[in-house]
Structure 1
Amino acid sequence: MATMLLAPVAIGAVSAFLGALISITDKIVNNYGEVQIDINNGKKDVEVKGGSPLLLSLAEQDIFVPSACGGRGSCGACKVKVTSDVGPHLPTETPYLTKEEIADNVRLSCQVKVKQDLSIEIPESLFNIKKVKTTIEKITDVTHDIKEVLVKLPEGTDLQYEAGQYGQFEAPKYGKVKEATQRAYSFSSDPQDKEHLEFLIRLVPGGIVTTYVHEYLKEGDSINIVAPVGDFKVQKTDAPMICVAGGSGMAPFKSIFNQMIHDGSIETREVWYFFGARTTKDIFYMDWLKELEEKYPKFHFIPALSEPQEGDGWTGETGLITDVMDKYLKSDELKDAEKEGYLCGSPGMLDACMVVMRDNDMQEERIYFDKFA
């Protein structure tokens, strides 16, 4: 299990280092002038200054390709199909691409340098992603290391998103950080609220954006958000939903459950929500989730602590959330049902959940998630 958890981290660190080294060398040696990018066979044609990564060149033209890691080369999310010759795939790309994607010339846009005219293909939905300047309305500590951040959208903003999607939260230059930096965070807000977006942001030691949020960000500050992004959403079926989260992975499920309340599906569809935490100080929104369980018979909330402390009064499930989920999946109530999986958490937790779900005969194509690096 330790090897499973460390492998993605090691790959991400090596990829980020190699990408930075290539970038620095290229900037020193070359000047590429103005370059044309043809998008979707003439759907859009833009002129950019050569030498920057394709991801950044497109963003400067208000075309935002999803990138959960902000272009560090550690998430593999910023895939585009390049239909012109830009050279072979780099070692910083191949860990994140399937053999089929490599054969189809799918590339990581954060690793492809715009050195000459090129042609690409991207989903049409990316043209609807916007960068919006928002105002921080309220910051609330929900645990010792997770802040609930409520942002106010500018008046007249028409930002349509589905519960489960996310936004790129941009921290400006601060302290020793010399450039604006984006990271992806799921919306925890109710999609019916057209005036706000809400995020749950956990402090990651050394994290550029999380450090800014936890140590510098104040109510009344302005923040750029690129949104909406992502394909994670509830499928329009009647299958029981097996939802699993930990920590700030609560965010998309808060949004999803609120949406289900509005559309009435929480009354007709089985939902099993497994939430894993270490101790009682790491668990939150308990009263709200228990109220949902009491009000809606088909909604089941199963929190579990992996390290319950003596004297904290915990009477719920204990152990790893994967083991708790496995027990319930083997129960008479769930073992024969055609279920769908919905996951949000660390890459290691998602991988472990996938193993348990597959072992319980859940079909991989019916397990949905956004894996953030």
Structure 2
Amino acid sequence: MLHTILPVFLMNGILLVIAIVLIIAERLLVTYGECKITINKEKIIAVNGGDSLLSYFAQNKIFIPSACGGKATCGYCKVEVLSGAGHILPTEEVFVNREERLKGIRLACQVKVKNDIEVLISEDLLQAKEYKTRILRITDVTSDIKYVVMQLSEPNEINFKPGQYIQFRIPEIEEFRAYSIASPPSQKNILELIVRLVPGGLCSSYIHEVLDVQDEIIVTGPYGDFYLREDSEREIVCIGGGCGMAPIRSILYHLREKGMPRKASYFFGARSKKDLFYTEELMALEGESSGRFSYFPVLSEPKPDDKWSGETGFVTQAVERHMHSNGDTEAYLCGPPPMIDAALKVLAKKGVQDIHIYYDKF
């Protein structure tokens, strides 16, 4: 059997070495000369070809989101390529659906600039900036979630929509991770984040174990299509769990500052009572809203010591029990994919139209 397996291992090893040699040779020997990247048919960036679109954007202070450091594992860095990019790569296919491919959507981290290339970037993305911040406060809100307060220093103000996110750069390495903003847009000099510790997570481990008050941190943003639609008068239902609290909190506190102009309800799912946080402030918001806001904390596995008399089961079951069927409702969902998928089914039963449902899976 060893005689059969050994040649296979040798062949695989040889192929791997050849692949590595070819990659190194291409980087050392192949030059593409000067290439022009045309953005929105207006701005032209001249570069020495050979690197990715994402790299050239970063070098020119165009802050396209990328939470994976250009490894094609997050799918955030989508841009529309009009010409010059070649065929889509297998690494992109999982993130770019058929409709997007027909429009020329690509992952900027996977498009290598070998010749002149034309791209379209949304104006919102072009408005994203790099900000220097200083950590003001770090607080434990549960055993694995921290509340982080950052003060902007340069520039000292940020404009964002409630529900959007920033990217947090881990010092000394070019790695970014996305975190939703938990504070309302009126706090232009302050950013509040809610960060869960992910086992083995590079950035969450840094925030939980290394980050300290007075540390200086670079963030970029704002980003995201998940934000409150303020041109609507529809009733709002929010559904979330865990760190999905962050963008919903931003939305709710923005509505509070506006006098709660639209009725809203928030269904928040947790496993047991120790996993709930901000309960007091959300109950206070409910109490002061004159019936305009309702908060439903839901425990899926309450412990005997919790002495819990509130909602139990999955958070979507509580939505089914308490949400009135109403086609004139707008929904904002933030949480893990299974929760989002279950919530979409419940909302469909309740008559909420797809075009009025906004969600952020993580």
User: TM-score over 0.5 for the alignment?
Assistant: yes
For 1:368, the equivalent position in structure 2 comes to 358
Match of 1:210 among 179, 195, 204: 204
2:250 alignment counterpart: 255
**Corresponding residue number in structure 1 for 2:39:** 39
- The answer to whether the 8 A contact 1:27-1:51 is kept is no
Q: 1:317 to 1:335 in 2, by over 3 A?
A: same
Task: Tell me the equivalent position of 1:163.
Answer: 162
Contact 1:151 1:197 in 2 (8 A): yes
Question: Partners in 2 of 1:44 and 1:24 — Cα distance?
Answer: 37
| Identical amino acids, percent of aligned pairs | 43
Structure 2 stretches lacking a partner, 5+ long:
1-18
Deviations 1:282-330 (A, max 9, x none): 110010000111111110100101111112121111111122212223x
Change (3 A) 1:119 1:339: same
Relative to 1, partners in 2 of residues 1:300 and 1:229: Cα closer, same or farther, differing over 3 Å?
same
- Give the aligned partner of residue 284 of structure 1: 277
Post-superposition offset of 1:24: 10
Residue matched to 1:230: 224
Summarize the alignment of residues 272-311 of structure 1 with structure 2, pairs less than 5 Å apart.
272-296=265-289, 297-311=291-305
Instruction: In structure 1, list runs of 5 or more residues that go unmatched.
Output: 1-21, 174-178
- Assess, with a 3 A threshold, how the Cα gap between structure 1 residues 107 and 158 changes in structure 2: closer, same or farther: same
TM-score for both structures, normalised by structure 1: 0.86
| Match of residue 15 from structure 1 | none
Cα deviation for residue 238 of structure 1 reads 1.8
Deviation at 1:337, TM superposition (A): 4.5
Deviations 1:53-101 (A, max 9, x none): 2122211211112334443323323211111132211112122222222
| 2:98 is equivalent to residue 96 of structure 1 | no
Q: Does 1:219 align with 2:213?
A: yes
The size of the alignment, in residue pairs, is 339
Q: 2: distance between equivalents of 1:369 and 1:232?
A: 6
**Residues 231-279 of structure 1, C-alpha deviation per residue, up to 9 Å, x if partnerless?**
2222222211110111111011211111111122x1x311110000111
- Offset from partner CA, 1:18-62 (integer Å, 9 cap, x none): xxxx99964552343543211111x21113343332122211211
Aligned-partner Cα distance in 2 for 1:151–1:183: 16
Separation in structure 1 between the aligned mates of residue 93 and residue 250 of structure 2, nearest angstrom: 34
Contact 2:138 2:212 in 1 (8 A): yes
Q: Say if 2:239 and 2:333, in contact at 8 Å, map to a contact too.
A: yes
In 1, Cα distance between the equivalents of 2:21 and 2:157? 39
Q: Which of structures 1 and 2 has the bigger CA Rg?
A: 2
What do the CA deviations read for 1:218-241 (whole angstroms, capped 9, x no partner)? 111111100111122222222111
What per-residue deviation string (whole Å, max 9, x for no partner) do you get for residues 136-164 of structure 1?
Answer: 11111111111111111116523111111
> Could you tell me which amino acid in structure 2 is paired with residue 286 of structure 1?
T
- Residue 29 of structure 1 aligns with which residue? 26
1:192 and 2:192 matched: no
